[in-house]
A and B are shown apart, each in its own frame.
Chain A
């Protein structure tokens, strides 16, 4: 078991998502920065979909109750194992009783803790990703224990790699969305000639941009939305749906983020600057 001694701001179990239930309104959920999770699982020779711990903004304090191997990716949160600093993209052996703790956020916004064999919480509707009302809770709390399989010895094929963090970009690549034609020249100029900042309204459901552009009065029938869908509200606000975002919406979908840019955005926090670039 992994014991949560202190949970920090927001930690949750996530895999790559819950597929096949979009038609009854269940969002896919899953890790916000799927690229970071895939890299960590690859280094541990796990299945890409093995469940990890997603750690947002401030880190938890965790105790390993069985020996295993771990790998950290995503945001840099000054992680230490028994007070020894850890780096990203390194396979690290942990022993029973080891304490993993985190410090200051220096880069990115969401950090991942992957473990050999993945975290083994109950799969509900095909996924371990925490999302209410599919799972009873949306996050782990102090004192929670998360099951994993003990590993005493294993020889990683690669123990450490140097990777340039993909989320250092501040440019979001967008495809035209279904209602792209709603964007007048004036709106296009406002979007592509300026930068936007992430508003305080940012979470696993959606990221809102702080700056408004010219509004509209287009009314449409509710229709499908996806993670990465950029909606434009009548007031001129850009809202980017993320992994826990609703499966349908009534605002015009002016863009669709590239999958890589969803991962980039997942590492941004309120106040961070962004620009849009049309693919």
Chain B
């Protein structure tokens, strides 16, 4: 497997930033995940890692770091990363979306600007698998990559003060789901009834970086059913294992 040039920069007293080449690429993300598994296998207490696209922010909660020492440790771990057998399981999640204009208030105008019919827009949005390149901005907010160029549309000129939880949006090269009510400037084309952040759950966010998401069109009736199922705790989003 290929090795990438890795840059390591100090980031305050307790953190360092590791950067892979400045690109959004699944092969780079995979290399980052392999490194993270190798680092976890070292079982050094107190480290937190958060990935976004081509970088990992490595935070050491225990103490102040010696930068040069840390850099050596991380680079050594990177060069030995294939010696650890990765136990990571990556999933493809099928998330239901209701594209009814009641939830997707911008869908008609977005379709219009993209010279598509609403049906074509939905067909394109649901036919791709999007890679989760990071989780941040809000708890449970996924940075998804892989949006077809035909669905690229600029952000709204004026952000909305309140976008409803579950809203599915398009903005630039991105598509995603607002995990909670929030101000936001994305064009809203639907709503996903699955909660992406549950603080009382053992795993508050079921999706992991490296997983893939595919959207599935559902009717308003199915949407309401999923909401009720989720409230009583019997709804489980559909998943398949990507790498057996």
Which positions in A face B, CB cutoff 8 Å? 19-26, 124-125, 132-135, 175-178, 220-226, 228-229, 246-249, 253, 256-259
- CB atoms of B197 and A133 under 8 A apart: yes
Which positions in B face A, CB cutoff 8 Å? 9-15, 17, 19, 22, 24, 48-57, 59, 61, 134-141, 143, 179-180, 197, 199-200, 204-205, 209
- CB atoms of A19 and B61 under 8 A apart: yes
Task: Jot down 16 A-B pairs with beta carbons below 8 A, ordered by A.
Answer: A24-B140, A25-B138, A25-B205, A175-B13, A178-B19, A221-B52, A222-B52, A223-B57, A224-B52, A224-B56, A226-B12, A226-B57, A228-B12, A249-B137, A253-B11, A258-B13
Bound complex: CA A125 to CA B50 (Å): 17
Minimum C-beta distance from B95 to chain A (A):
16
Kindly list chain B residues whose C-beta atoms are within 8 Å of the C-beta of A246.
Answer: 136-138
B55's nearest neighbour on chain A, judged by CB, is: A223
- CB atoms of B50 and A22 under 8 A apart: yes
Bound complex: CA A134 to CA B140 (Å): 11
- CB atoms of B59 and A22 under 8 A apart: yes
Minimum C-beta distance from B56 to chain A (A):
8
- CB atoms of A134 and B199 under 8 A apart: yes
B13's nearest neighbour on chain A, judged by CB, is: A259
| Interface residue from A125, A175, A221, A259 paired with B10 (Cβ < 8 Å) | A175
- CB atoms of B22 and A124 under 8 A apart: no
Asked whether A25 and B140 contact (CB < 8 A) given A223-B53, A256-B12, the answer is: yes
Minimum C-beta distance from A259 to chain B (A):
6
- CB atoms of A221 and B12 under 8 A apart: no
Looking at A124, A175, A178, A223, which has the most chain B CB atoms within 10 Å of its CB?
A223
Q: With A23-B51, A221-B54, A256-B12 given, can you name 4 additional A-B contacts, CB distance below 8 Å?
A: A19-B48, A20-B48, A124-B200, A246-B136
- CB atoms of A23 and B50 under 8 A apart: yes
Kindly list chain B residues whose C-beta atoms are within 8 Å of the C-beta of A224.
Answer: 11, 15, 17, 50, 52, 55-57, 136
